[in-house]
Chains A and B, each alone.
Chain A
Amino acid sequence: MSEADPAGTAAGNGAAAEAMVDVRGVSRTFHRGRTPVPVLRDLSLRMEKGEFLALMGPSGSGKSTLLNLIAGLDRPTGGEVIVGGSAIHRLSERKLAGWRARNVGFVFQFSNLLGALSAERNVAVPLLLTSFSARERRRRVDIALEIVGLSARGKHRPRELSGGEQQRVGIARALVNDPALLVCDEPTGDLDRTTSAEILDLLVALNRDHGKTILMVTHDPVAAERASRTLHLEDGRLAECGHDGTIEVPVHEPAGAAV
């Protein structure tokens, strides 16, 4: 995607064969006191550019941990995480922050907008990290709000918006720096069925029309159905799911192998 097109239209859904995400033999162990608690063990995952992948699994299965590793919010205990060609597990804290600002858009369960700022100012927050001119920032905010269908609500404060609209503003904020990868952690978890469907429609459109690669963690099978592929994570293992919800291929990937 070019700067002139923050949402991007260059790549279609699954059009490219190059991997956007390449997780190789990753493990992540936390410590509870002195007791090690392994959450992910020797896990591998490959996502193609332009893919929309849903990640499901029970609470505590490591979905968010995996998402954090791919988004550069956490570091693996072992293995490699390569996103967009960058081995992000090797980057320093500072470089990793810069990489996130340029390459990843975050959508959370709650929109987490700053209550004192208008919608358009919330969307503009990631642009504080750029050297764009005020005019370019303005243009990007306008485009991002247009994509999520909230051009007319830019001046409104979060409390003046519905839950669905707030989540749309959150998505616009994720898009404004034109990242190639969107990571969504339970993006519909706090919304009713109708609003959830609208948000999912928007994510599908971003994937299909703007070529965004999307990794979505969800508990909701209906939401997962909208993705092009669904993986199930349980006991630190990944399995491919069918759209009828059945786990088709329980697999444990050796290091370096891809799903």
Chain B
Amino acid sequence: MSSFTLISAALRRKKTRTFLTFSSVVFAFLIFGVLSMLQTAFSMGAEIANEDRLVVRHRVSLFQLLPQSYEADMEEIPGVVDAMHMTWFGGVYQDPSNFFMQSPVEPAEYLDMYPEILVPEEAKLRWIETRNGAIAGRALVERLGWEVGDRIPIQPTIWRQQGRGDDAWEFELVGVYDADVEGFDQTQFLFRYDFFDEARSFGRGQVGWFMVRIADPDRAPEIAAAIDDTFRNSAAETKSESEGAFAAGFANQVGNLGLIVTSILGAVFFTILLVAGNTMAQSVRERIGEIGLLKALGFTSSRVQRLVLMESVTLVTTAGFLGMVLAVGLERVLRPALAAYFPGLFLRPEDLLLGLGLAVVTGLVVGIFPARRAMRLETALALRRL
């Protein structure tokens, strides 16, 4: 028998109340876990962004096209190592709900730009040999049940083929890519730009945006300004920014997620402080006689204070831990199910640790006032409540 026996006895005293408080704390931490996952999913682009990559897009919007010839011009700018382009294809595979990002790229340039992507050598060769060849991310391939060698028909919504009306574009899956960076989008479908450019019915020589690698990340603002200056007063002016800033701006199109998540969590934890705080205060109020008895038996005031504080920390921390475990379980279910929409949906270890730390702090804050009250109780007066 130890002090924990007394703590356990106190928590089991009103089982229903303890269960309800425990459950509310579990759900609070489950919400914390889910919101942390969502925040990670939205901010992942910015987090895994390389400091040495810039995104160059049309100054008006991402959906305005730029001349492909800009690529060579940009590679002439001091500090630029390499440039490549991508274009939003926006086709539909079988059903609009099967959404995934598709883009024509120049294979060698793309793979150079994104060393995070892992493609088997054999697949690289097949991609270069096959005009309508495409590679797709592991998560996408698994979700749609594709296999290498499959013919993938994609219905155009923007880019129709010359002389073929609404006919589907037909690609051959020549490889599957993985990524060695957690959260990297593994739901992309990438096919050859030369095949796309020759076959499309309009916009030949026009691309969506450029990725530019620079030699010195510290010079990123300067180089971005130089790029924009190069194309100023042209028919297609550019806006250049770091990959991280671009991803963050993209995520913030749905609102300031950090502020939204923080506000929701603030409200949730404020409620938990009230709920659990009320439980602890009520519990101590009902046990004044019992606390007096412990003091009469020789428990010092500080020991009684510690017991009440440990009771609170035990309640909230156990519930918080369970809430985080449930959040991890939910992540295991949601991650594959929502991989198409939130490729970066996962619970980061630092968020797990933050949750557990938050549980301990919440337990202490919740318990501090009841514990002080218990400590200050005069033994003789408290015993009258027996």
| Residues B300 and A93 in contact, CB atoms below 8 Å apart | yes
| Residues B380 and A97 in contact, CB atoms below 8 Å apart | no
Collect the chain B residues with CB atoms within 8 Å of residue A153's CB: none
Collect the chain A residues with CB atoms within 8 Å of residue B5's CB: 117, 121
Given known A68-B380, A73-B379, A117-B5, contact A97–B386 (CB-CB < 8 A): no
- The distance in angstroms between the C-alpha atoms of A129 and B299, with both chains bound, is 7
The smallest beta-carbon distance between A193 and chain B, in angstroms, is 23
| Residues A112 and B300 in contact, CB atoms below 8 Å apart | no
- The distance in angstroms between the C-alpha atoms of A121 and B1, with both chains bound, is 7
- The distance in angstroms between the C-alpha atoms of A112 and B288, with both chains bound, is 12
- With a 10 A CB-CB cut-off, give which of A74, A97, A108, A137 has the most chain B CB atoms: A97
19 A-B pairs within 8 Å (CB atoms) are namely A68-B383, A71-B296, A74-B379, A97-B298, A102-B298, A108-B386, A112-B290, A112-B386, A114-B6, A116-B8, A116-B10, A116-B12, A117-B9, A125-B294, A126-B298, A127-B1, A128-B1, A129-B297, A137-B1
Collect the chain B residues with CB atoms within 8 Å of residue A52's CB: none
Task: Report the nearest B residue to A114, measured CB to CB.
Answer: B9
| In the assembled complex, B43 has its CB within 8 A of some CB on chain A | no
Interface residue total, chain A, C-beta cutoff 8 A: 29
Contact digits for A62-74, partner B, Cβ 8 Å, 1 yes 0 no: 0000001001011
Given known A73-B383, A94-B300, A106-B296, contact A128–B289 (CB-CB < 8 A): no
| In the assembled complex, A228 has its CB within 8 A of some CB on chain B | no
Other A-B contacts than A100-B298, A110-B386, 12 sampled, CB-CB below 8 A, are A73-B380, A94-B300, A100-B296, A101-B299, A102-B298, A115-B9, A121-B5, A124-B1, A125-B294, A126-B297, A127-B1, A128-B1
Given known A74-B380, A93-B301, A112-B289, contact A125–B295 (CB-CB < 8 A): no
Collect the chain B residues with CB atoms within 8 Å of residue A121's CB: 1, 5
The smallest beta-carbon distance between B251 and chain A, in angstroms, is 50
Task: Report the nearest A residue to B296, measured CB to CB.
Answer: A106
The smallest beta-carbon distance between B8 and chain A, in angstroms, is 7
Collect the chain A residues with CB atoms within 8 Å of residue B294's CB: 125
Chain A interface main SS type = helix
- The distance in angstroms between the C-alpha atoms of A129 and B297, with both chains bound, is 9
- Indicate which residue in B9, B13, B289, B300 contacts A97 across the interface (CB closer than 8 Å): B300
| Residues A106 and B297 in contact, CB atoms below 8 Å apart | yes
Chain B interface main SS type = helix
| In the assembled complex, B233 has its CB within 8 A of some CB on chain A | no
| Residues A128 and B2 in contact, CB atoms below 8 Å apart | yes
- The distance in angstroms between the C-alpha atoms of A112 and B287, with both chains bound, is 11
| Residues B1 and A101 in contact, CB atoms below 8 Å apart | no
Task: Report the nearest B residue to A124, measured CB to CB.
Answer: B1
The smallest beta-carbon distance between B7 and chain A, in angstroms, is 11
Collect the chain A residues with CB atoms within 8 Å of residue B383's CB: 68, 73, 108
Interface residue total, chain B, C-beta cutoff 8 A: 26
Collect the chain B residues with CB atoms within 8 Å of residue A195's CB: none
Given known A112-B289, A116-B13, contact A101–B301 (CB-CB < 8 A): no
| In the assembled complex, B293 has its CB within 8 A of some CB on chain A | yes
Could you list which residues of chain B lie within 8 angstroms of chain A, going by C-beta atoms?
A: 1-3, 5-6, 8-10, 12-13, 289-290, 293-302, 379-380, 383, 386
Collect the chain B residues with CB atoms within 8 Å of residue A100's CB: 296-298
- The distance in angstroms between the C-alpha atoms of A24 and B299, with both chains bound, is 27
- The distance in angstroms between the C-alpha atoms of A93 and B296, with both chains bound, is 11
- The distance in angstroms between the C-alpha atoms of A110 and B385, with both chains bound, is 11
The smallest beta-carbon distance between A185 and chain B, in angstroms, is 8
- The distance in angstroms between the C-alpha atoms of A98 and B12, with both chains bound, is 28
- The distance in angstroms between the C-alpha atoms of A112 and B294, with both chains bound, is 10
- The distance in angstroms between the C-alpha atoms of A121 and B5, with both chains bound, is 9
| Residues A98 and B298 in contact, CB atoms below 8 Å apart | yes
The smallest beta-carbon distance between B314 and chain A, in angstroms, is 14
The smallest beta-carbon distance between A104 and chain B, in angstroms, is 8
Collect the chain B residues with CB atoms within 8 Å of residue A129's CB: 297-299
Collect the chain B residues with CB atoms within 8 Å of residue A173's CB: 297
| In the assembled complex, A61 has its CB within 8 A of some CB on chain B | no
Task: Report the nearest A residue to B3, measured CB to CB.
Answer: A128
The smallest beta-carbon distance between A41 and chain B, in angstroms, is 18
Task: Report the nearest A residue to B382, measured CB to CB.
Answer: A73
Collect the chain A residues with CB atoms within 8 Å of residue B298's CB: 97-98, 100-102, 126, 129
The smallest beta-carbon distance between A157 and chain B, in angstroms, is 11
Task: Report the nearest A residue to B289, measured CB to CB.
Answer: A112
| In the assembled complex, A109 has its CB within 8 A of some CB on chain B | yes
- With a 10 A CB-CB cut-off, give which of B10, B293, B296, B386 has the most chain A CB atoms: B296
Collect the chain A residues with CB atoms within 8 Å of residue B386's CB: 108-110, 112
Task: Report the nearest B residue to A176, measured CB to CB.
Answer: B297
Task: Report the nearest A residue to B302, measured CB to CB.
Answer: A94
The smallest beta-carbon distance between A126 and chain B, in angstroms, is 5
